[in-house]
Amino acid sequence: VLNELRTRFGIKPEAEITMEMDPGTFTAQDAAGFLAAGVKRVSLGVQSFHDDQLQACGRGHTVEQVRQAFEILREAGFQDISIDLISGLPGD
């Protein structure tokens, strides 16, 4: 997909490409492939660091999977990782 976008729209190799990812939905091999394809930054959909809030929001991951996802991304070589959090959840 990224190669096709580069070809059709002239996206330069040094362009900063961000991918939004959810914890528990990718492997170390996936992360390495995304980095090799030119993804430079990941926005990780954490939402909360409390399992009960994650469950109440219908999220498909746990706090432990958040930790694992962050570790996978770092080990793959990602330097720029942001996280999405929801504020004002019940119990905050």
Question: Are the beta carbons of 87 and 49 closer than 8 angstroms?
Answer: no
Higher pLDDT, 92 or 3: 3
Predicted local distance difference test score (pLDDT) of residue 17:
93
Predicted local distance difference test score (pLDDT) of residue 91:
73
Query: What is the mean pLDDT of the segment spanning 70-87?
Result: 96
Strand pairing partners for 44? Answer: 21, 83
25-76 residue pLDDT tens: 999 999 999 999 999 999 999 999 999 999 988 899 999 999 999 999 999 9
Task: Reduce the DSSP state of residue 87 to 3 states and report it.
Answer: coil
Predicted local distance difference test score (pLDDT) of residue 12:
87
